[in-house]
Amino acid sequence: MPTKTAKPDYRAAADAVVARYGRDPDFLIPMLQDLQSENEHVPPEAMKRLAEVLDVPLSRIYSVATFYTTFSLTPRGKHLITLCVGTVCYLKGAKAVAEAIQGRLKIEPGGTTEDRLFTYQPVNCLGACALAPVLMIDEKYYGKVTPAQVPEILAEYGAKEKP
């Protein structure tokens, strides 16, 4: 776990993933996935380093990192809220749940709260349609969620009382 004061060495992090997959741009997506999961985002310094080592234009790395929703260029919050907005969840009221989350935390889809506690990410389908609408925080699932339950669920993760 990096200490809060020292800035992590993202160039070294990039070198580490290249060492793992080899200098083959074919593996760019797995490399970025590793960077994302190990650093909670894809740091721009790491992208620059990847461009140097893999000998591809930075624009290509940037385009890949911004095309796929799995990558984020800014650090994500401590807890990831994943709300399923697939067809079944939509039919069963995911929209109202989304509004409740966005209203409660004052964030937009893909956004992170100011206190960096939560990042909110709607996804297309979690494949747990029997329990629609489904909400997932980090690894934990919540089924048949109603807007009224949202404040209670968020409080489990330390969301502050209603501002």
Which residues are at the interface with other proteins (CB under 8 A)? 25-30, 33, 60, 63-64, 67-71, 85-92, 123-132, 134, 141, 143
Nearby residues of 87 by Cβ (< 8 Å), 6 or more positions away: 125
Q: Rank residues 77 and 86 by Cβ distance to other proteins and give the closer one.
A: 86
Please state the closest distance from residue 94 (CB atom) to other proteins, in A.
10
C-alpha span between 30 and 17 (Å, rounded): 9
Please state the closest distance from residue 37 (CB atom) to other proteins, in A.
10
C-alpha span between 15 and 37 (Å, rounded): 15
Q: Rank residues 2 and 152 by Cβ distance to other proteins and give the closer one.
A: 152
Please state the closest distance from residue 88 (CB atom) to other proteins, in A.
5
C-alpha span between 11 and 105 (Å, rounded): 34
Nearby residues of 53 by Cβ (< 8 Å), 6 or more positions away: 14, 15, 18, 23
Q: Rank residues 13 and 100 by Cβ distance to other proteins and give the closer one.
A: 100
